Amino acid sequence: MNVQDQEAAGSASPLSAAVEERIRAEVGRYPQRRTGLLPALKIAQEETHFLPPPVIARVADMVGVSHASANELVTFYSMLRTKPLGTTVVEVCAQLPCALRGADELLGLLAAALEIEPGDTTPNGAVTLLRSHECFGACNRAPMCVVNDEYRENLRGKALEAFLAEVETAAGLEGQTS
Ligand code: FES
């Protein structure tokens, strides 16, 4: 069912009217509507935090591409998420300046402490660990990460130990760091 049919049938959209309006405006900027698919999916994700099948289908219909094409794009770009985020989201900046200052080691320690891989959420839905695709503007205070919009910087030595313990507590895995 395309978007016109959905509207005619009165199907409820999984997106708000405001977000749909933003998507229409964004897609309208491109001579070829399908070029607007990636930005449209990003706009949708801002609202829904991840992209479940009904959201992907709605965006695909609005852009005028097949659901399969939209699914393919979502699978390809790791910044587009198909799974819900945890209550606590730990996003480690691993861009080059931070990578040169221990970002990968920090990511590895967090993954080990949480017993998950970067990109995953703990089985209880408490903590998601992400590798950032953008610089947070705190390169001189790396290794660093952002926890639910709060910056955590200079994560070395005792600060790192305390942070790992805090993250384990958030995940319900207290006392596992030695
Ligand atoms: S590169 Fe990591 S904060 Fe800038």
The per-residue pLDDT string of the chain (178 residues; one tens digit each, 9 = 90 and over) reads 444 444 444 468 999 999 999 999 999 999 999 999 999 999 999 999 899 999 999 999 999 999 999 999 999 998 899 989 999 999 999 999 999 999 999 999 999 999 999 989 999 999 999 998 789 999 999 999 999 989 999 999 999 999 999 999 999 987 655 4
- Domain ranges for the chain, please list them: 3-76, 88-170
Fold of 88-170: Glutaredoxin (3.40.30)
The DSSP 8-state label assigned to residue 26 in this structure reads: H
Nearest 5°: phi and psi at 59?
A: -65, -45
Could you identify the atom of ligand 1 that is nearest to the CA of residue 94?
Answer: 2
Cα–Cα distance, 102 to 70 (Å, whole number): 35
CA torsion 69-70-76-81 (nearest 10°) is: -160
Among 95, 96, 107, 154, name the best residue to mutate to test ligand 1's pocket (greatest count of ligand atoms within 8 A of Cβ): 95
The DSSP 8-state label assigned to residue 139 in this structure reads: G
Q: What kind of architecture, by CATH, is found in domain 3-76?
A: Orthogonal Bundle (1.10)
Rounded to the nearest whole angstrom, what is the distance from the C-alpha of residue 84 to the centroid of ligand 1?
A: 25
Sign of CA dihedral 124, 126, 129, 132: positive
Residues within 6 Å of ligand 1 by CB: 93, 95, 97-98, 135-139, 142, 144
Rounded to the nearest whole angstrom, what is the distance from the C-alpha of residue 53 to the centroid of ligand 1?
A: 32
- The structure's pTM equals 0.74
